[in-house]
Amino acid sequence: MHLGVLALALAAFALPLAANAQAVAKPPRIGVLWQTAPPPPVHPFMTALLQGLKERGWEDGKNVVIESRYAGNDADRLAVFAAELVRLKVDVITTAGDLSTHAAQKATATIPIVTSVGFPVESGFVKSLARPGGNITGVAVLADELSMKRLALLKELLPRLSRVAVLWDPVTHERQPKAAEASARTLGVQVQMLRARTPEELAPAFEAAAKARAEALLVLVSPMFGGNRPAFASLAARHRIPTMYFNKTFAESGGLISYGPSPEEQWTLIAGQIDQILRGARPAKLPFQQPTRFELIINLKTARALGMTIPPALLQRADYVVE
């Protein structure tokens, strides 16, 4: 009888301990720090990231919590949000572009950061791609090489191209515009370099390109540009400027042509590194990954609106055609 009472007492005592243990075992937190405005309803890259995490066993609201912060292209807000994620003690922060990565880097030297940037070494984020050596790893897009490829595709699209405007966000690394200028010299094309740091500077940039009679526009990689795709489609149509973009979401949103890494692959790579970190890996020993899949997208509807005929050889190489 006494043994039975004792067993019941011990069981009753153990129940709150088990409950406390479950309460303490909180799911890990992933901080998403992006410089763009909040997407309506979801950023296409976020969809790819969530899918990549799900494939590795992480589902938001079930066994992981995702804390998203969008700064609306405001550096001060990025700094505030980065500090907020640090106070929340997230287990890892993911960023896209130099501006948000710099904000996260300044906010913490200990929380792992998984980023997608053009030039991780040159921007001062890591010591080398193979051995990052700190709390930052991710995907290196190496945007200078792609800028050269996009300009060559523009020349193929417009064989008589002699004047091209190049739109650069000065927040990003200067290797991009320098690579575009070097490629233009090789192709015998004159370059008009334009800058836009904020969404409000996009319209004046297009007006400057039209005034200079640019025959085409090359848009360099920028998260701010990516967050304003509808504005690009509208401005390019208004000024009737054939425009080359850096990822397929532009062509899908009315842009003429795009060439760049597959967003699905890029953010799947990011998800894979987040997964490794959540399972104990150190970012210092996780090499930067590089995209291997590149997509050429052509929007025939936009081409017809511009009165253009796409060269058959270029059309055949397209990975996807928007009708």
Give the per-residue pLDDT at 166.
97
- The whole domain housing 34 covers 12-141+263-285
Give the per-residue pLDDT at 72.
83
Is the residue at 236 inside a domain? Answer: yes
Is the residue at 196 inside a domain? Answer: yes
Residues 267 and 246 occupy one common structural domain: no
pLDDT-based confidence at 145, cuts 50/70/90?
A: confident
Q: Is this model's pTM higher than 0.75 or not?
A: yes
For the chain, the average pLDDT equals 90
Task: Tell me the CATH number at 313.
Answer: 3.40.50.2300
* Residue 285 per-residue DSSP state: G
Please tell me the chain's helix, strand, coil percentages from 3-state DSSP, rounded to the nearest 5: 45, 20, 35
Give dist(CA 85, CA 79) in Å, integer: 10
Q: Is the pLDDT of residue 2 over 60?
A: no
Residues 303 and 171 occupy one common structural domain: yes
The whole-number average pLDDT for the span 68-83 is 91
Most confident of 31-45, 60-74, 163-177, 206-220: 206-220
Residues 182 and 118 occupy one common structural domain: no
Domain count, the chain: 2
Give dist(CA 286, CA 272) in Å, integer: 11
Q: Which residue has the tokens 């509808």?
A: 230
Q: Indicate the helix (H) or strand (E) that contains 40.
A: none
Give dist(CA 234, CA 221) in Å, integer: 19
Residues 81 and 125 occupy one common structural domain: yes
Residues 175 and 121 occupy one common structural domain: no
Q: Does 283 sit behind a cis peptide bond, omega within 30 degrees of 0 on the bond before it?
A: no
Is the residue at 3 inside a domain? Answer: no
Q: Is 182 helix (H, G, I), strand (E, B) or coil?
A: helix
Give the per-residue pLDDT at 1.
45
Give the per-residue pLDDT at 10.
47
Asked if 243 and 194 touch (Cβ cutoff 8 Å), the reply is no
Q: Which residues contact 46 (CB under 8 A, 6 or more apart)?
A: 32, 39, 68
Give the per-residue pLDDT at 4.
53
Asked if 107 and 83 touch (Cβ cutoff 8 Å), the reply is yes
Q: What pLDDT digit, counting tens, does each position of 96-125 carry?
A: 989 999 999 999 999 999 999 989 999 999
What is the amino acid identity at position 245? Y
Residues 311 and 190 occupy one common structural domain: yes
